[in-house]
A = this chain, B = another copy of it.
Amino acid sequence: MGRFDILITNGTILSMDPQNSIIKGGFLGIKGDTISYIGSGDDEFEAKKIIDAKDGLILPGLINGHTHAAMTLFRGLADDLPLMEWLNNYVFPVEGKMDANFVRVGSLLACAEMILSGTTTFCDMYLFEEEVAKAAKESGMRCLVGEVLYDFPSPNYGSVEKGFAYTEGLIERWKEDPLVDIAVEPHSLFTCGVDLLHKANDLALNSDVPLILHVAETRAELEQIEKQYGKRPVQHLKDLGLLSPHLIADHCVYINESEIEVLAEHKVSVVHNPESNMKLASGFAPVPEMIANGITVGLGTDGCASNNNLDLFAEMDMAAKLHKVNNLDPTVMDAQTLFKMATIDGARALGLEKVTGSLEVGKRADLIIIDTKKPHLIPMYNPYSHLVYAAGGHDVKHSIINGSIVMEDRRLLTLEVEDIMEQAKEQSHRVREWVG
């Protein structure tokens, strides 16, 4: 084996490598930020730090493919409302008043929740994204983030030009960072005109970063695009020349069979957000059909205003069950498929598959350890089943990101969680004022 900075012992490793290798009684060694050994641990070794997995599960850290992290501060502010009432009376008034510090606090709170529930990488779209990048960096999380762009001014920038300049600044400042990646993120086809979309696509291509937008999330959006452009969203994207492997399309609820083929042909990645699609009553995304057509589909929680948590274990469970009942077929979306979406396929969707999403020698050490000695996880016939249908984020005991321990025995090592919760309470008083 050899010498390691960290050695994890005595766990069942679900690698999510191309063979879906499972190693029982597995050992995993880390040097610096990298996985340098995976095996049975029979040989001699030295390690600065040993973590005993105690017969638990050693897993790739989970990938939250789409969220708006700072919306943790609106969680439970307004639920069960008609969409336009929710947006006009709550979401937009709050977003209109928020500032960088609000996003900083909300993002730190989100990072705490994500680490505590087993997520090691997240993809964010929101305002004041410099603060989100800093919060991820501070918490030790891997992320892909981008400032939301739309035709109208945002609370963070007064004009579209400034929005692009802000994005260019993000790309420039974070380009060498080992944890933070930047994307260009126009909001959607109904908030971004043709000029903005072309400019965003050019910036993404020239900077070699992903382009991310919401696509066909709701029926209202579908109808608006059809009315405005005389075509459906995917055709509109195709005609604009935006369909390519650098595009990550969030949601894709209202896409038909031929659009699935078009997305697959152009190797566009999709992020599915089942809980948000259910809670907002958006609809049923045709995920089994997308996967059958070879589209890479990751899993996202969306923001806490429409979920209302960031726990990807709940998201896996919900996604599996949603598509089974919607197809009236219990064989659809099996447990291993879901775990793949939350790990290696999530990484692939974000263009991070060479870095994270599976446990393989040479990849960055992004991993979590599940304590399985609990009444709801014993006995264990099939680990994938337990992860999707029985476990929750609270079962994650330790978390390591980029070779650093960020949670040990459920204690956050990078964040002052008590202080963050106090700051979140303070921000919530502002929110109450803003919504009257």
Interface residues of A (CB under 8 A from B): 72-73, 75-77, 79-83, 86, 109, 112-113, 116-117, 219, 275, 277-284, 304, 307-311, 314, 317-318, 320-322, 324-325, 327-335, 373, 375-376, 378-382, 385-386, 389-390, 392-394, 417, 420-421, 424-425, 427-428, 431-432
Contact = CB atoms under 8 A, between A and B. Distances in A.
Contact of A330 (B113, B279, B328, B392): B279
28 contacts: A75-B379, A75-B390, A76-B380, A79-B389, A80-B320, A81-B330, A81-B331, A112-B375, A113-B375, A116-B376, A117-B376, A278-B322, A279-B320, A279-B321, A279-B389, A281-B332, A283-B325, A304-B390, A308-B386, A309-B376, A314-B392, A318-B318, A322-B325, A375-B421, A379-B427, A381-B431, A381-B432, A392-B392
Contacts of A327: 281
A277 B325 CA distance: 7
A324 B390 contact: no
A378 B308 CA distance: 12
Which secondary structure dominates where chain A touches chain B? helix
A375 B116 contact: yes
Nearest to A253: B325
B381 A76 contact: yes
A428 B381 contact: yes
A431 B381 CA distance: 10
B417 A86 contact: no
B279 A76 contact: no
A306 B42 CA distance: 39
A367 B81 CA distance: 30
A378 B328 contact: no
A79 B279 contact: no
Contacts of A280: 324, 330
B425 A331 contact: no
A113 B334 CA distance: 24
B109 A73 contact: no
Contacts of A275: 321
Contacts of A325: 277-278, 281-284, 322
Contacts of A373: 421
B389 A309 contact: yes
What 7 pairs between A and B have smallest CB-CB spacing?
A: A379-B428, A278-B321, A76-B385, A80-B334, A308-B389, A394-B394, A112-B375
A396 to B, nearest CB: 11
A376 B79 contact: no
B375 A80 contact: no
A142 to B, nearest CB: 19
Contacts of A427: 379
B330 A382 contact: no
Most buried by B among A81, A283, A325, A328: A325
